[in-house]
Amino acid sequence: MSTGESGSDDESDMDSQANEDQLMLMTAYFVMNHHDKYLMKRKRRIPLCTGQQWVFENLSTSKDCYAMFRMYPACFYGLHNTLVGRYKLESTREMSSMEALAMFLWTVGGPESVTQVENRFKRSKETIHRKFEHVLGCLTQLAADIIKPRDPQFPTVHERLQDSRFSPHFNGCIGAIDGTHIRVVVPAEDIANHVGRIRT
């Protein structure tokens, strides 16, 4: 056998060995991938408790209640009783008033997305929206009753408002609500800083 033939046989053996090694690596990859994907598959997650059970579990501990709902249990129960007794927060077939309030507080305290609320409370998005609006309406009525000035005539002016930065520019403005529309005429270059907002 000539030297040239011996060299081509060696190259052929090397190519064959490289192909075998590559095939072994690919086989090992597919076996490991199959093992991770199918044999070590995590079991399907089943909720350990309903939304209502989760609420009562957190209400049973002051620390957890404060962390989840931003208030201690006594405050939560007091707010709930006030909303039920005076502002028509009601339980329905879909959700109790207690769970609705807890869901609202957890959502705004996070803040949490509707998808997160759906996942935590196991309720439909339609139920979540409806209950959120219901609790918000009750709290808005409560706010209108309790957020009031001590004296609507404002006989005393806070010393900070007597500072030259505010006085006399804001004299007589005490009690004005944000959103009050004031008609002004400003130079064209300043229009962006004076956008009108009319409340309907």
> What residue ranges do the domains of the chain occupy?
51-146
pTM of the model: 0.58
58 vs 190 pLDDT, higher one? 58
Mean pLDDT confidence for 130-143: 96
pLDDT at 167: 80
- What is the per-residue pLDDT across 90-128, written as a single tens digit (0 to 9) for each? 999 889 999 999 999 999 998 899 999 999 998 999 999
Q: CB of 87 within 8 A of CB of 141?
A: yes
Count of helices and strands (H, E) across the chain: 7, 0
Spatial separation of the C-alpha atoms in residues 55 and 49, rounded to whole Å: 10
Burial class for 155, CB neighbours closer than 10 Å (0-12, 13-18, 19+): exposed
- What is the per-residue pLDDT across 144-176, written as a single tens digit (0 to 9) for each? 999 887 777 777 777 887 888 878 777 777 666
- What is the per-residue pLDDT across 50-77, written as a single tens digit (0 to 9) for each? 889 999 999 999 999 999 999 999 999 9
